[in-house]
Amino acid sequence: MSARLRTILFILVVLMMAAPIPSFAEETEKRDDAFAPVRVPDDVQKAIGIKVESVRSLTPVSRKQVNGLVEAIPANTAAVNAPLSGRVLTLIAQKGQHVNKGDVLLTMDSPEIRQLAVESQRLVAQNKAAEEQALAKVELARRNFEREKTLFGLKISSTKDYQTAEADLRQAEAELQTARSQTRLSAAMLTNRLDQLGQSMRATAQGRITLYAPISGIVLDQLVTPGEAVEPAKPLYKLINITKVWVTAQIYEKDLQFVRLGQKIEVHASAYPNRIFGGALINIDPVVDPTSRTLAVRATIENPDFLLKPQMFVTVDLIDKTPQQLGYFVPAEAIVSVQGKQSVFVKHGEEFVPVEVEVGETKDNLVRVNIGLKGDELIVTQRAYQLMAQGAKGAIPAEEEEGEKKTTSTIKPEYILFLTIGGVIFLLLGFLAGKKSGRTPKDRSQPAQPVTSAKATSADVKGNHDQ
């Protein structure tokens, strides 16, 4: 091979080595499949139970949580005492029983009532007799007056006699009115005595007393038994009405900035974890307790189902609504973790796009979103995790497809053209090299040797060996 040809071949090899090596690996598109939109048809959305709602705009609130105690309202309690001495006959109401105002509680027998009834009847009879006498006196005075009036008109009787007869009639009528009043008072003696006792009760002339419930509520205490002798003012029953209760909380003096009259509160009881009782502060103690350095605040709570019991411990949230900018709140179930980032799915037609968000405080199972939402989006509030799993499943290639991608290589067109040209050049150079090679001038001056076969050559070698 000539020096020129070797130089050309060397240059071509260098150029081929300097050229970029074609890549036969598959070029994969770099993208974040976890945050790619997930397309789900409407019928599939209904099938898997996807629910979307608008983002809620609520006023941000600050809360201060303190411990509280449920108490009965003093005005809604009543004590039923024995009005007079006597003996209990029957107990109608039992402890724990609900009673309405005016229901019978018990009956009792009272000798004092019987004595008072007898005395009343005696006075009534006595006053009736006096009333009859006064009535007769009035009739006599009226007839005398009529006669004197007639004589005075005829100029027969004097003016003095006429005026005396008139005065006697007026006096007799006044005495009749007094007798009738005494009769009424005697008949009402028993009633007046019971009114003085100040209780809801009724008595008969036989000495039987019936006591009634002064308020509607529950029998908290039953302090007597049938047949028991009682003295005046002995406690018999204690009634309590808890359709409304007080919730009292102790506030440290450093937290007085969080309380004010009329402030809304939310009460939570461990017995009812999913129930919230609302109310408002009606009273703030004016003096701080020198020992505990606290003061009591009270709120009235509606309790129609009797769920809150007196002496029950509760947790009180003091709510302070401030005129800040509205916050965006989403249900806690709408928050999912995508690649360690808190996100929500926003609906755009049949596509659901995961959007990274920054969350804040929680209110009634609603999470405030500080950054990430505009407030007018439709977000997935149910089945967000299933939707995330659906999107992840669509982003992962199947095993067969992945194997095919690993075994299949692609060559770019420019690499194919480059190799073709290089091959043609190599073939051309090889042809030229073969054509130019052969014998040198020195070789051409020598005679050509005859070509012998392999068989002949072998025979010659054998003959030479025999000689």
Domain boundaries, the chain: 33-58+327-395, 61-74+241-321, 111-206
From CA 382, how far away is CA 53, in angstroms rounded? 9
DSSP per-residue string spanning 169-235: HHHHHHHHHHHHHHHHHHHTHHHHHHHHHTSSEEE-TTSEEEEE-SSSEEEEEE---TT-EE-TT-E
What is the model's pLDDT at position 68? 95
pLDDT at 184 over 90: no
pLDDT tens per residue across span 374-391: 767 788 888 887 777 766
Local confidence band at 434 (pLDDT 50, 70, 90 cut-offs)? low
Local confidence band at 38 (pLDDT 50, 70, 90 cut-offs)? confident
Calculate mean pLDDT across residues 329-356: 81
What is the model's pLDDT at position 65? 87
Q: Comparing 121 with 171, which gets the higher pLDDT?
A: 171
Q: Comparing 144 with 194, which gets the higher pLDDT?
A: 144
Calculate mean pLDDT across residues 55-69: 75
Local confidence band at 393 (pLDDT 50, 70, 90 cut-offs)? low
From CA 326, how far away is CA 370, in angstroms rounded? 11
Local confidence band at 13 (pLDDT 50, 70, 90 cut-offs)? low
Calculate mean pLDDT across residues 32-57: 73
From CA 105, how far away is CA 96, in angstroms rounded? 13
Calculate mean pLDDT across residues 403-417: 49
What is the model's pLDDT at position 67? 93
Calculate mean pLDDT across residues 33-50: 73
Instruction: Using a pLDDT cut of 70, give the percent of the chain over it.
Output: 71
* β-pair type (351-356, 341-348): antiparallel
pLDDT at 449 over 50: no
To the question of pTM greater than 0.85 for the whole model, the response is no
pLDDT tens per residue across span 278-310: 999 999 999 999 998 999 999 999 999 999 999
Whether the CA torsion 105, 106, 112, 113 is positive or negative: it is positive
Q: Comparing 63 with 243, which gets the higher pLDDT?
A: 243
- Mean pLDDT, the chain, whole residue set: 77
pLDDT at 462 over 70: no
Q: Comparing 218 with 6, which gets the higher pLDDT?
A: 218
What is the model's pLDDT at position 214? 93
Which CATH architecture best describes the domain 61-74+241-321? Answer: Beta Barrel (2.40)
Domain 33-58+327-395 classification at class level: mainly beta
Calculate mean pLDDT across residues 434-457: 46
Whether 430 and 437 have beta carbons less than 8 Å apart is answered as: no
Local confidence band at 464 (pLDDT 50, 70, 90 cut-offs)? very low
Q: Comparing 204 with 57, which gets the higher pLDDT?
A: 204
